[in-house]
């Protein structure tokens, strides 16, 4: 079964967002996204300190079969990237919501508020 | 999802095995059963089974069957004359030398042949061959009641021999086949760069056979693994690495053209000979790249001055090598000593030009 944790928010492009407090958010790709991608073999991470705009491409997830853009659901500044993915890209498949997180961003409340909640996201992928 | 997708006799079997299904050439086929990587490694290290029932067997027989195939195919079925059961890989060309399709032809017995066609072209190819045979003593029998299971990997033949109770399979040589009754045909062929067999049998027998093979230790593998396996083995995919615009010489398939009999006027011969005299403008080569620069179809290849010299036809991460690999069509001036770069998003990454395959006889052809 595809996992959609209730504590997270979601984008229509299959990223999840966790609010860490103080305007800091953690971002990864959903379980559904990793199922569609298949085995992930390389992640091109965003640049630390990079300013990004919501819905813009900020990295690439390469699976065996295809390269897919990674989109940031929030506008802001990249304040952390998960360097461990360089050696463990398979974490995106194995633990997409835990060890497979991709970056952290400082952002305003308003983009976050626009994201889907778990029920809405689950409905969007059920179609 | 279109309603018109065809399903193989194993459709429900795939679902029961947990397959993620995907449309492919008009068929609804298993892409993977959880992990393409694990399926790929199972075939390299042990044994896997692939449902390739989307490929279509066509039996061609009659007093003029041999002459028809000697005209329609660029390789020469006369090579098979002395050995019933023997198989040949060949292209079928247009008059202009472009590849209409690629296929394996089996010589079953005098005046009796079997070919296996790619899913996408099977209907058109069959109609084309029938037209070519008009007025000749040739009959066609598409085996629409059959499916195909490819069993591939270093242990595949041994396991299949056990499941079928046919120890003689272990003695079957590469590109040889055996016919066992009306509804079973086994060929030592494949599309993975591993040893193995392809089993052609009636649709009704397939689910039980697949169950028995899995019970014996063969792992179900999908089209995704089939693609990464065949690419490592340097085997072209029709429609991706070659098509009607490409001659065999442009497609690393010059070896499949048989010009030895000067009397044999196969379709496309004049064009092939003219291209040989002039030299092809482009050729298909292998590319090796680091794992953070995985080539994909359509990516450009450039020279040291940044000028385009070709493009990637098929590209993937190579699970057996831990690298990016590609088949790329490059200008004739480019070869293994050339310094070229893959244009990958904003970067230009040095690529090593090599002769395919990348993987052969259980090991990397170009060790890092």
Residue of A nearest to B32 (CA): A38
Rounded Cα distance between B179 and B288, Å, is 41
Contact B294 A60 (CB under 8 A): no
DSSP A65-85: S-EEEEE-SS-EEEEEE-GGG
Task: Output phi, psi for B335, to 5 deg.
Answer: -155, -170
Q: Is A97 helix (H, G, I), strand (E, B) or coil?
A: coil
From edge to edge, which strands make up the β-sheet containing B139-142?
Answer: B87-93, B99-109, B112-117, B56-61, B139-142
C-alpha distance from A35 to closest chain B C-alpha (Å): 8
Query: For A22, how many CA atoms within 13 A lie in the half-sphere containing its CB?
Result: 2
Q: Tell me how crowded residue B82 is: count the other CB atoms within 10 A of its CB.
A: 8
- Chain A interface includes B317 (CB < 8 A): yes
- For A69-103, what is each residue's pLDDT tens digit? 999 999 999 999 999 999 999 999 999 999 999 99
First-to-last alpha carbon distance for chain A, in angstroms, is 15
What percent of chain A clears pLDDT 70, i.e. is strictly above it? 99
Q: What is the pLDDT of residue A126?
A: 86
A64/B228 touch (CB, cutoff 8 Å), yes or no: yes
| Cα dihedral A28, A32, A34, A36 in deg (nearest 10) | -140
B53 close to A (CB below 8 A): no
pLDDT of res. A107 = 96
Question: Shortest CA distance to B37 belongs to which of B251, B318, B343, B361?
Answer: B318
Answer whether A41 sits within 8 Å of B294, measured CB to CB. yes
Contact B301, B310 (CB under 8 A): yes
- pLDDT score at B332: 96
Across the interface, whether the CB atoms of A65 and B224 are under 8 A apart is answered: yes
Question: Please, which residues have CB within 8 angstroms of residue A45's CB and are 6 or more apart in sequence?
Answer: A59, A81, A82, A83, A85, A86, A102, A103
Q: Work out the minimum CA distance from B228 to partner chain A, whole angstroms.
A: 8
Instruction: Copy the structure tokens of residue B280.
Output: 């092809």
Q: What is the ipTM of this complex?
A: 0.81
Q: Taking phi first (over 0 means left), then psi (-120 to 50 degrees means alpha), and beta for anything else, what does residue B135 get?
A: left
Contacts with B40 from chain A: Cβ below 8 Å:
64
Query: Are B176 and B197 spatial neighbours (Cβ–Cβ below 8 Å)?
Result: no
User: In chain B, which residues have their Cβ closer than 8 Å to the Cβ of A67?
Assistant: 294, 296
Question: Mean pLDDT, to the nearest integer, of A24-45?
Answer: 95
> Which residues on A lie below 8 Å from B320 (Cβ)?
none
Residues of A in contact with B37 (CB under 8 A): 39, 64
Is the Cβ pair B35, A44 closer than 8 Å? no
Residues of B in contact with A94 (CB under 8 A): none
Closest residue of B to A60, CA-based? B345
For residue B224, which residues of chain A lie inside 8 Å, CB to CB? Answer: 38, 64-65
Distance from CA of B241 to the nearest CA of A (A): 16
- Give the Cα-Cα-Cα angle B49, B54, B58 (nearest 5 degrees): 110
CB within 8 Å: B37 and A39: yes
Residue B110 dihedral angles phi and psi, to the nearest 5°: -50, 130
A·B CB contacts under 8 A: 38
Question: Which residues in chain B show pLDDT less than 50?
Answer: 1
Q: Omega into B212 within 30° of 0, i.e. cis?
A: no
Q: What is the mean pLDDT of residues A56-81?
A: 95
* Nearest alpha-carbon partner for A27 in A42, A41, A46: A46
Instruction: Please classify residue B237 by burial: count the beta carbons closer than 10 Å to its beta carbon, then call 0-12 exposed, 13-18 middle and 19+ buried.
Output: middle
Backbone angles phi, psi at B184, to 5 degrees: -145, 125
Q: Quick count: other Cβ atoms within 10 Å of Cβ A95?
A: 15
**Beta bridge partners of residue B198, listed in sequence order:** B150, B187
DSSP label at A101?
Answer: -
Chain A interface includes B296 (CB < 8 A): yes
Judged by CB atoms closer than 8 Å, whether chains meet at B294 and A35 is answered as: no
Task: Please report the pLDDT score of residue A127 as a whole number.
Answer: 63
pLDDT, position B16: 98
In whole angstroms, give the CA distance from residue B311 to residue A120. Answer: 42
* Residue B214, Cβ density class (10 Å: 0-12 exposed, 13-18 middle, ≥19 buried): middle
* Alpha carbons B98 and B103: distance in angstroms, whole number: 15
Contacts of A60 in chain B (CB under 8 A): 345
């Amino acid at each position: 079964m595809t996992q959609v944790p209730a504590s997270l928010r979601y984008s229509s492009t299959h990223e999840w967002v966790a609010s860490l407090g103080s305007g800091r958010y953690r971002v990864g790709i959903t379980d559904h996204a990793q199922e569609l991608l298949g085995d992930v073999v390389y992640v091109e991470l965003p640049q630390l300190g990079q300013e990004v705009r919501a819905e813009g491409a900020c990295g690439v997830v390469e699976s065996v079969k295809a390269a897919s853009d990674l989109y940031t659901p929030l506008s802001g500044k990249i304040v952390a990237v998960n360097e461990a993915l360089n050696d463990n890209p398979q974490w995106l498949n194995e633990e997409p919501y835990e060890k497979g997180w991709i970056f952290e961003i400082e952002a305003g409340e308003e983009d976050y508020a626009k994201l889907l909640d778990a029920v809405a996201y689950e409905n969007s992928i059920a179609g | 999802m279109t309603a018109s997708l065809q399903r193989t006799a194993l459709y429900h079997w795939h679902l029961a095995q947990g397959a993620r299904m995907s449309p492919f050439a008009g068929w609804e086929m298993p892409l993977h059963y959880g992990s393409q990587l694990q399926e790929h490694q199972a075939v390299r290290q042990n044994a896997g089974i692939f449902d390739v029932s989307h490929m279509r067997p066509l039996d061609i027989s009659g007093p003029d069957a041999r002459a028809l195939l000697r005209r329609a195919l660029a390789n020469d079925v006369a090579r098979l004359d002395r050995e019933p059961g023997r198989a040949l890989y060949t292209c079928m060309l247009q008059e202009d030398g472009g590849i209409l399709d690629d296929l394996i032809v089996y010589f079953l017995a005098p005046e009796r042949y079997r070919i296996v066609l790619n899913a996408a072209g099977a209907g058109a190819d069959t109609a084309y061959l029938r037209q070519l045979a008009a007025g000749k003593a040739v009959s066609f029998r598409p085996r629409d009641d059959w499916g195909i299971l490819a069993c591939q990997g270093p242990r595949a033949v041994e396991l299949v021999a056990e499941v079928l109770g046919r120890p003689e399979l272990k003695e079957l040589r590469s590109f040889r086949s055996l016919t066992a009754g009306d509804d079973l045909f086994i060929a030592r062929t494949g599309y993975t760069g591993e040893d193995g067999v392809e089993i052609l049998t009636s649709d009704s027998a397939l689910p039980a056979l697949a169950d028995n093979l899995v019970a014996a230790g063969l792992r179900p593998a999908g089209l995704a693994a089939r693609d990464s396996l065949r690419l490592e083995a340097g085997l072209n995919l029709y429609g991706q690495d070659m098509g009607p615009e490409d001659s065999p010489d442009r497609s690393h398939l010059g070896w499949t053209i048989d010009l030895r009999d000067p009397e044999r006027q196969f379709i496309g011969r004049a064009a092939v000979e003219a291209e040989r005299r002039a030299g092809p403008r482009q050729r298909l080569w292998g590319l090796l790249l680091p794992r953070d620069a995985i080539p994909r179809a359509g990516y450009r290849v450039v020279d040291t001055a940044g000028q385009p010299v070709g493009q990637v036809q098929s590209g993937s991460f190579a699970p057996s090598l831990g690298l990016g690999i590609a088949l790329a069509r490059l200008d004739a001036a480019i070869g293994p000593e050339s310094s070229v770069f893959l244009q990958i998003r904003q970067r230009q990454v040095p690529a090593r030009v090599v002769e395919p395959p990348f993987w052969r006889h259980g090991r990397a052809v170009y060790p890092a």
